[in-house]
Structure 1
């Protein structure tokens, strides 16, 4: 079908799970998340919600029988471009982005910077979104080429930490520890621009402290004018977010997490071939060669309030490392830690998915490569891979 878009409008497309859509730019110019579309090239997208924006007006040919789409004149793309223009012209290229639509804005700005030839240090502190990997992680990487739903990022110097939950507030102390680690590592990297994405439940004080710790030039607040006025940081910019933008339901959210995890193991176009392997678990604290320990960071088994002394409050031992039983479907993060004490703050070197719990000392896992991990500590959180 042919779709005519007027100048300054968006074409919004929602693709259901397990389906794909194809489209081609037939006339004029358009972009997705700041990445310019090539005239006459067919693009394939699966299981996504995205929009195509044009500043000139354009014609799109769309082949997607199951997709839902509509056009809208309400767009904040001109606002985002004006922000980019001012950041670039003033050489103030280090920003922290918070609010609804933060990841989309971060991706757009990153693409604009890379189109100018800049290396961008992209730091994703949003465990809810998981742009560079999948939810439950905070990650950083150097990005040098535009990326979007039609073309994933070509990245280097990737660093990941596993919080184990799509909510930072599930274990805020662990989350803050990981943020300190990734921010410190970012100071050692060289890039012309730096984009930092805050997490979903971020509070005013947290924004101000993070902005100071990271030394950002500006804080960008998406769509929450009240929150914008509450932030005391001097250099801040408000970007409106219009009603009608696509929101994910809880079920769509679960599907998105599953899709991102599947992409890690199988690739964007199922080009990878992960392996099923069996690994042995240690029966106690003492480990033998080729044995592993499944761990959780933070004590989830707390006494109820009624069982605590009067006046006390229950609190997790938030960075305690405990042995736990593997759960089918759970994601296991392979810690780079050499000792148990280093597990909470150590980077992650890969992931496994538990396919079957054979016994207390053996599990079958999905592994990206046909050999067992070379590190013994496997961290289990709340992230699951659905079938």
Structure 2
């Protein structure tokens, strides 16, 4: 496996230290804000987010990253002594997490065994991880995916967290098959993601659009599973937002129903667990399980989240280690068609004539005039070839608007690569980025 920043060369001159971990303990680390962190596994075995560390190889973790190194049998870690925080904890919920993995493994094996029977429509586990903000949902999802991949499965990862964006940029929902344990530094692989652009980091802007995109993604995956017994048996792990009250709770129930989840893992929230058990008790094929959140989970304020979103966008264009070379291009205004979805005041139905529909449809495509307001916006490039395909089409990639020349009617944008865009149809939300 290729690890981000892994190298077999000597460590750069810096203060180093060794940390000895006893069995079933973990080293919790917060990387400093301005400097990366080099470390390696000297002896024993250990894992990060469920992925085993390669022995003796230096790993480079970027600034601001928060993670834990866990060992089942004991290990010694050599690392630079320049972290924001690092400490060893011997009380972790890992036993309960790996027990969940064992149960899921049994269900996958049963689904695989029955796949040869054409009359049997058994499927592997469809696991949805729910809980409040900063409860460890993304970390648990990565562990379950990596453990499954280590056993030879190719589970599908579904990310519904538009505020964070584990697969691609924030403001999107996405899915991708996981074929190998996830690289602890570089994260989720991007070879074949299925991405839909919502365009905002909160569902309150247009909840109807969010529901439609979730349903569209679920239907595509359902069709893929129908024709692929291996993927169907491997199942899926679904990560969700930390928005669990009011509209957030309604959207959780919508996701559980839409993806036909069979296991609901609730991270450290008694009230949410009780509510879900009560509402899902009429579905005997759905198990609701409460799990303890790790003591290593760190609360992140709104400023940190904004910085993390900006970093995700930067990584898309420049790579985790600034090893990519994005391409600047110029297009005529007439070459591009930009839309946003929904918007505008919507009159209540009671104020309209009988039989009339509200003027503002939350799913309506609204053409956007190209002007200076687009500067620094990140736009999604649709795969659609016709306007009526835009809402149901997934995304080819993203561009960042760097200049608008009104007199010459030229637009300058940054793209991951040169050449023509896959489509002239672009989608606009509220995703912005200012390069620093």
1:353 equivalent in structure 2: 400
Contact residue 31 and residue 66 of structure 2 kept, 8 A: yes
Aligned to 1:329: 376
For 1:118, the equivalent position in structure 2 comes to 153
Asked whether 1:207 is paired with 2:252, we answer yes
Q: Which residue of 1 aligns with 2:320?
A: 268
2:85 matched to which residue of 1?
68
2:119 counterpart residue number: none
**Cα shift at 1:174:** 0.5
Does structure 1 residue 197 correspond to structure 2 residue 239? yes
Specify the alignment match of 1:90 in structure 2: 107
Among 335, 338, 345, the residue aligned to 1:302: 345
Match of 2:270 among 221, 225, 232: 225
Distance 1:10 1:199, change over 3 A: same
Does residue 166 of the first structure (1) align with residue 201 of the second (2)?
A: yes
1:368 aligns with 2:400: no
1:339 aligns with 2:386: yes
* Structure 1 counterpart of 2:24, from 8, 18, 21: 8
Q: TM-score, structure 2 length as denominator?
A: 0.79
* Contact preservation (8 Å) 1:25, 1:38: yes
Structure 2 residue aligned with 1:287: none
Deviations 1:279-328 (A, max 9, x none): 1213xxxxxxxx102221121x43899xx979xxx996322222334522
- 1:377: which partner in 2? 425
What is the Cα deviation at residue 55 of structure 1? 2.0
Structure 2 SS opposite 1:219: strand
1:147 matched residue in structure 2: 182
Residue 316 to residue 73, structure 1, CA distance change in 2 (3 Å):
farther
Cα shift at 1:66: 4.9
Q: Secondary structure at the match of 1:90?
A: helix
Q: CA deviation at 1:90?
A: 3.4
Q: 1:229 offset after TM fit, Å?
A: 0.7
SS at match of 1:84: helix
| Contact 1:20/1:64 (8 A) holds in 2 | no
Distance in 1, Cα, partners of 2:192 & 2:325? 24
Which structure carries more strand by proportion? 1
Contact 1:168 1:199 survives alignment (8 Å): no
How many residues are treated as equivalent by the alignment?
373
SS in 2 for 1:157: coil
Which residue among 60, 65, 73 is the counterpart of 1:56? 73
Tell me: CA distance 1:206–1:165, structure 2 relative to 1, closer, same or farther (3 Å): closer
Report the equivalent of 2:138: 103
Deviations 1:257-289 (A, max 9, x none): 12211221122222221111111213xxxxxxx
* Alignment CA distance shift 1:340-1:18 (3 Å): farther
Of 295, 308, 330, 1:278 maps to 330
- Counterpart in 2 of 1:293? 337
- State how far apart, in whole Å, the 2-side matches of 1:10 and 1:179 are: 36
Asked whether the equivalents of residues 382 and 393 of structure 2 are also in contact (C-alpha less than 8 Å), the reply is yes
Q: Deviations over 1:42-83 (max 9, x none)?
A: 111113111111222322111252543222234222221111
Q: Shift of the alpha carbon at 1:18?
A: 4.7
Asked if the contact 1:17/1:255 (under 8 Å) is kept, the reply is no
Equivalences for 1:126-137 in 2 at 5 Å? 126-137=161-172
TM normalised by structure 1 equals: 0.89
Quote the Cα distance in structure 2 between the aligned partners of 1:6 and 1:379: 51
Distance 1:175 1:137 in 2: 9
* 1:235 lines up with 2:279 in the alignment: no
Q: Alignment partner of 2:390: what SS?
A: helix
More deviation in 101-110 or 351-360? 351-360
Kindly provide the CA deviation profile for residues 151-208 of structure 1, in whole angstroms up to 9, marking residues without a partner as x.
4334543210100011122211001111111101101223123111223325444434
Cα distance, 1:272–1:139 mapped onto 2, change above 3 Å: same
Aligned residue in 1 for 2:220 = 185
Contact 2:167/2:193 (CA < 8 Å) preserved in 1?
Answer: no
User: Contact conserved, 1:124 with 1:138, CA < 8 A, in 2?
Assistant: yes
